[in-house]
Amino acid sequence: MPLISVITITKGNPQGFARTHASIKAQDFKDHEWVVVDGDKEPDNGIYDAMNKGIARACGDYLIFMNAGDAFTSPNTLSQAAAYLQEGPDFVYGDALEGGHHKPARHDIAHGMITHHQAMFYRRSDRQYDTRYRIAADYKYTAQAIAEADADKIAYMPFPVCIFETGGVSQRRVAEGRAEQNAIRQELGIKAPMISSMQIAAAFLKRVAPPVYWALRSRFKTARAYDARASAKSNPATPSKKPNLKI
């Protein structure tokens, strides 16, 4: 079984940290390590600098970032994920729970983060977060991970991986985050016409009519999910249709 590194960044959030700790401790999959970077004990240059420290300390085959306040959806979440990871994919992602709502993953990196950061497993590498981006460095990190992955080694897990704690910096500084995402698209050559208008409309709908937003968010996806395990069992030589994740 692969070793999974769960990386947690914490600063000034003891209650959230305790919740995350309890969630990790409850996991029935024991081939994991917990890497904690505590901003109250060691200085850093922001959350992504702290996450880079976590990457440097990690020894696992795969990394998942579960920051203070976030939690796995159940005690067997890592066991479920390990069933996918043992096949050696480059990048694996699943759905998330946010504010009591099931938030399905999207399958097009051009539209922004395909799912919450806490619902993605990255094969460990020397890649680091670009700390020039204070809000959307996770988008660049993820887009690069997908670009570097073999097309047939990207897997989607059709279940919620994390319970996302709302109110973080990306949700408080939405406009800045969008601007950084646009800069990253230009830097990486990702074409996404009209995406800014779509994001503004979605944010407005989420604010003024949450039930409508969540109903639409749960119903529509940009592509059919790719399950690497099902594909390999059905016809190893001909993978089933994959999400449009490649840049």
Q: 101 in a domain, yes or no? A: yes
Q: 141 in a domain, yes or no? A: yes
Q: 243 in a domain, yes or no? A: no
Q: 239 in a domain, yes or no? A: no
Backbone angles phi, psi at 27, to 5 degrees: -65, 135
Strands 154-164 and 91-98: parallel
Q: What tens digit of pLDDT does each residue of 82-136 get? A: 999 999 999 999 999 998 889 999 888 988 899 999 999 999 999 999 999 999 9
The Cα 54–Cα 130 span in angstroms is: 14
Helix (H, G, I), strand (E, B) or coil at 182: helix
pTM for the structure as a whole:
0.81
Q: What tens digit of pLDDT does each residue of 25-54 get? A: 999 999 999 999 999 999 999 999 999 999
134: domain CATH number is 3.90.550.10
Q: What tens digit of pLDDT does each residue of 122-131 get? A: 999 999 999 9
CB 215 within 8 A of CB 78: no
- Domain range holding 125? 4-234
The Cα 183–Cα 170 span in angstroms is: 16
CA-CA-CA-CA dihedral for 115, 8, 123, 116, to nearest 10: 0
The Cα 10–Cα 19 span in angstroms is: 12
What's the total number of domains in the chain? 1
Q: 85 in a domain, yes or no? A: yes
